[in-house]
Amino acid sequence: MNITSATVLIVPGLREHVADHWQTLLAQKLPRVRSVAPLEHDKLSCAARVAAIDRALASIEGPVIVVAHSAGVMMLAHWAKRCATHAIHGALLAAPADLETPMPPGYPTIDALGEHGWLPVPRGVLPFPSIVAASSNDPLTRLDRAREFARSWASRFVELGDVGHLNPASGHGEWPMAGELIGQLAAPR
């Protein structure tokens, strides 16, 4: 399989789609892309987010590579634990948000995340190959925590250096390395 024969499913974080975000820019370059639809209601509900991933996957025929960012990584971990009804060829898990550690102001509190079904973050081997890509200066996840998530999910770990949360606020629109990592996931095993 190669990247042109797979459908890439984009799983954004809690802030949904942003026009100049690397996921949005990546989607414009790939031949077969779908994105998990933004929620209209229950936007903080983990169960609603998991159901949205399941609906998106059910609409795709053929091999799928998931590209998740931030809380989207945790959404996919919850989906893998609860549903895992669709075969995923691989997943790029970029800048996972550590929902078990207090986040900066403006983000949901640990209590709110717990009330909406996010905690604890699922641990255990994911049923598909994956790469966790994390920053050494991400304000939402310390590097050691990202490594811990990668180990618990049996994911390959890639340290990205000082790229913040890999979002426009950190100076990232385009992220060229995403294509390289997706290509590695698409390579024949």
Question: Where do the structural domains in the chain lie, given as residue ranges?
Answer: 7-186
- The torsion defined by the Cα of 19, 22, 27 and 31, in degrees rounded to 10, comes to 140
Region 82-107: what's the mean pLDDT?
Answer: 92
Q: What is the pLDDT of residues 23-80, one digit of tens each?
A: 888 888 888 999 998 888 888 999 999 999 999 999 999 999 999 999 999 999 999 9
Residue 48, SS3 per DSSP: helix
- The CATH number given to 7-186 is 3.40.50.1820
Chain centroid offset of residue 189 CA? 22
User: How far does the chain reach from its first CA to its final CA, in angstroms?
Assistant: 9
Q: Which residues, 6+ apart, have CB-to-CB distance to 5 below 8 Å?
A: 32, 62, 63, 186
Q: How far apart are CA 59 and CA 37, in angstroms?
A: 12
Contact 107, 132 (CB under 8 A): no
Whether the per-residue pLDDT at 166 is higher than 90: the answer is no
- What is the DSSP pairing of strand 130-134 with strand 156-159? parallel
The answer to whether residue 85 scores a pLDDT higher than 80 is: no
Do residues 76 and 49 touch, judged by C-beta distance below 8 A?
A: no
Q: Rounded to an integer, what distance in angstroms lies between the CA atom of residue 132 and that of residue 158?
A: 6
Q: What is the rounded CA–CA span in Å between residue 28 and residue 47?
A: 28
Q: Is 70 exposed, middle or buried (0-12, 13-18, 19+ CB in 10 A)?
A: buried
Please check the confidence at residue 139 and state whether its pLDDT lies above 70: yes
Mean pLDDT of the chain: 90
pLDDT exceeds cutoff 90 at 159: yes
140, 98 contact by CB (below 8 A): yes
In the chain, the percentage of residues whose pLDDT exceeds 90 is 66
- Least confident stretch, 89-93, 106-110, 179-183: 179-183
Q: What is the pLDDT of residue 26?
A: 85
